[in-house]
Structure 1
Amino acid sequence: MGDLYALDFDGVICDSCGESSVSAVKAAKVRWPALFNGVDSALENWVVDQMHVVRPVVETGYENLLLVRLLLEMRIPSIRKSSVAEGLTVEGILEKWSALKPVIMEEWGEERDPLVNLFGKVRDEWMDQDLNTWIGANRLYPGVSDALRFASSTIYIVTTKQSRFADALLRELAGVTIPPERIFGLGSGPKVEVLKMLQKKPEHQGLKLHFVEDRLATLKNVIKEPELDGWSLYLGDWGYNTEEERDEASRISRIQILQLSDFSTKLK
């Protein structure tokens, strides 16, 4: 009896926060150029630093753009268009992001799909113009590339990242090629639906099923689906989550808190 591992990408395999933050600033300059009038390099660096702090709230990449703009509006009253920015703190973003996001999108007149497309386009252009720098802004977590390379388990990637970026990083940073039909990226549908589909495949019957994720909210969505009761669920404690989320997860019997060294051992 073998094992099947469905792995999230950002926050489980790859620390992409440096790249996604810089890409978000680049994309925000394209989308809202006037916001950056008078923004000096020190303020821009502050935004990128804060993006590392608020990264646990991001479910899909385009949200990084919203966070860049919100952080700027928190610091510069003269450009403020959102009712929530005044008095808002980074801690407030971590606590209330799901409620803040629809408010700011409406107040800024933004829609999801154009932001998704812009974020992907900016990344594509960066890759085309300077692949080495783009790759270098990402890093794999220690031990993960060897674990993937020598894994005896069946591996799938289930991510909200666009598949082409996950594929490029696996090849360039890990020296690993995962067949495209095993990478479920943005546009593949909710992760719970991907897991349902994977467990139904004839070739997966009899395999032990494991799902490794760094977002507690995603694991809680899986728990709500009785059809997915057969999956072992893991929260990676090295990923983009907070101490409060790890504490909450430790009280949920279905979820195992996983450390990076244990994760690499499991895959091998």
Structure 2
Amino acid sequence: MGDLYALDFDGVICDSCGESSLSAVKAAKVRWPGLFDSVDSAMEDWIVDQMYIVRPVVETGYENLLLVRLLLELRIPPIRKSSVAEGLTVEGILESWSKIKPLIMEAWDENRDALVDLFGKVRDEWIEKDLATWIGANRFYPGVPDALKFASSRVYIVTTKQSRFADALLRELAGVTIPPERIYGLGTGPKVEVLKQLQKKPENQGLTLHFVEDRLATLKNVIKEPELDGWNLYLGDWGYNTQKERAEAASISRIHLLELSDFSQKLK
């Protein structure tokens, strides 16, 4: 009958870590000017480099803002630090982000929706002023644009990125047009709920269902839902995950570890 692929975007289709980190630095300067005014280009470069290490913990884009500030606080004198950053290391962030995040949201008196809006606004302004540079800060994983262009399977994008940014990158960087009704972005609900919607659509009946993700936690959430037992689950080993997570995934019978070359072949 054919195949349906639900694909995560960041870390599966697109390596957006450079762009999301730079956008987060821009947004952090707006949100916390007192802290970031004195950040020079060398410090900015260091922060962006470290963001590649901690990127596996990010579930939704606004968290990049929190990470950028936390990384800065690792480097500034204790007198300017919040107590949450005391004694913290980059490795510590990677290990304990789910515990750290609520603490810093409270300590810094931050609001999730306000950060989401700010992050989106900063990206919109960057795109408006200089689309070429914004596009250039992203890259598609090798072979993926062609695989999407020539896919014989039905493809949906299921992402925590705002849909307009995923759509712009697909069109501008990959030359791929995916109908807007097949892009489920931030605000369309948790991924498990989107997968339930997809499998109920009349046009998807009889298709073999596949979900490709780079976050192990998301795949584990799918496994908890008996209603989603019909999905084949894949962890992309090229995405934003750690060796420890890949080893754990390999021990879970429902999850297939997927290599990039195999992914491109499957879509074609």
TM-score, scaled relative to structure 1 = 0.99
C-alpha distance in 2, partners of 1:145/1:37? 39
**Structure 1 Cα separation of the partners of residues 177 and 67 of structure 2:** 32
- Give how far 1:79 is off: 2.0
1:3-61 per-position Cα deviation (integer Å, ceiling 9, x unaligned): 00000000000000000000000000000000024322211111111011100000000
Match of 1:190 in 2: 190
- Counting only pairs closer than 5 Å after superposition, residues 59-74 of structure 1 correspond to structure 2 as 59-74=59-74
Give the match for residue 131 of structure 1: 131
Which residue of the partner structure matches residue 79 of structure 1? 80
Report if aligned partners of 2:29, 2:37 keep a CA contact under 8 Å in 1: no
In the alignment, which residue of structure 1 is the partner of 2:181? 181
Moved more, 40-49 or 232-241: 40-49
| Aligned counterpart, 2:258 | 258
Q: How far apart are the structure 1 equivalents of 2:44 and 2:127?
A: 21
Post-superposition Cα deviations, 1:121-173, rounded to whole Å, max 9, x if no partner, equal 00000000000000000000000000000000000000000000000000011
SS of the residue corresponding to residue 84 of structure 1 reads helix
3-state SS in 2 of match to 1:102 = helix
Q: Unaligned stretches of 5+ in structure 1? A: none
Partner letter of residue 40 of structure 1?
Answer: D
**How far apart are the structure 2 equivalents of 1:80 and 1:141?**
37
Post-superposition CA distance 1:207-230 (Å, at most 9, x none): 000000000000000000000000
The answer for the alignment partner of 1:14 in structure 2 is 14
Q: How does 1:28-43 map to 2 (within 5 A)?
A: 28-43=28-43
Q: Distance in 1 between matches of 2:262 and 2:79?
A: 49
Paired residue for 2:248?
Answer: 248
CA shift at 1:74, angstroms?
Answer: 1.2
Letter in 2 for 1:188: T
Take 2:80 and 2:117, find their aligned partners in 1: how far apart are those partners?
25
Which residue identity does 1:43 align to in structure 2? M
Q: For 1:88 and 1:183, how far apart are their aligned partners in 2?
A: 38
SS in structure 1 of the partner of residue 241 of structure 2: coil
After TM superposition, give the deviation of residue 87 of structure 1 in Å.
Answer: 1.4
Distance (whole Å) between structure 2 residues aligned to residue 61 and residue 28 of structure 1: 13
What CA distance in whole angstroms lies between the structure 2 residues aligned with 1:43 and 1:87? 19
Moved over 2 A (4+): none
The SS at the match of 1:11 is coil
Amino acid corresponding to residue 123 of structure 2 in structure 1:
R
Alpha-carbon offset, residue 240 of structure 1: 0.1
Cα distance in 2 for residues equivalent to 1:199 and 1:37? 49
* Secondary structure in structure 2 of the residue aligned to 1:233: strand
Taking the aligned partners of 2:79 and 2:71, their CA distance within structure 1 comes to: 13
After superposition, residues 22-61 of structure 1 pair within 5 angstroms as 22-61=22-61
Q: Deviation at 1:84?
A: 2.4
Paired residue type of 2:231? W
Alignment of 1:108-127 (within 5 A): 108-127=108-127
Q: Which residue of 2 is the match for residue 104 of structure 1?
A: 104
CA RMSD, 1 decimal: 0.6
Deviations 1:158-217 (A, max 9, x none): 000000000000001111110000000000000000000000011111000000000000
Alignment partner of 1:232: what SS? strand
Unaligned ranges ≥5, structure 2: none
Shift of 1:86: 1.4
Opposite residue 178 of structure 1, the aligned amino acid is: I
Following the alignment from structure 1 to structure 2, what is the Cα–Cα distance between the partners of residues 113 and 135? 25
In structure 1, distance between residues paired with 2:202 and 2:32? 49
Partner letter of residue 250 of structure 2?
Answer: S
- Paired residues of 2:158 and 2:185 also in contact (CA < 8 A): yes
Q: How many pairs does the alignment contain?
A: 267
Deviates more, 1:30-39 or 1:161-170: 30-39
Match of 2:221 in 1: 221
Paired residue type of 2:106: E
The one-letter amino acid paired with 1:74 is L
**Cα distance in 2 for residues equivalent to 1:240 and 1:99:** 19
SS in structure 1 opposite 2:265? Answer: helix
Q: Which amino acid aligns with 2:172?
A: E
Q: Distance in 2 between matches of 1:39 and 1:18?
A: 18
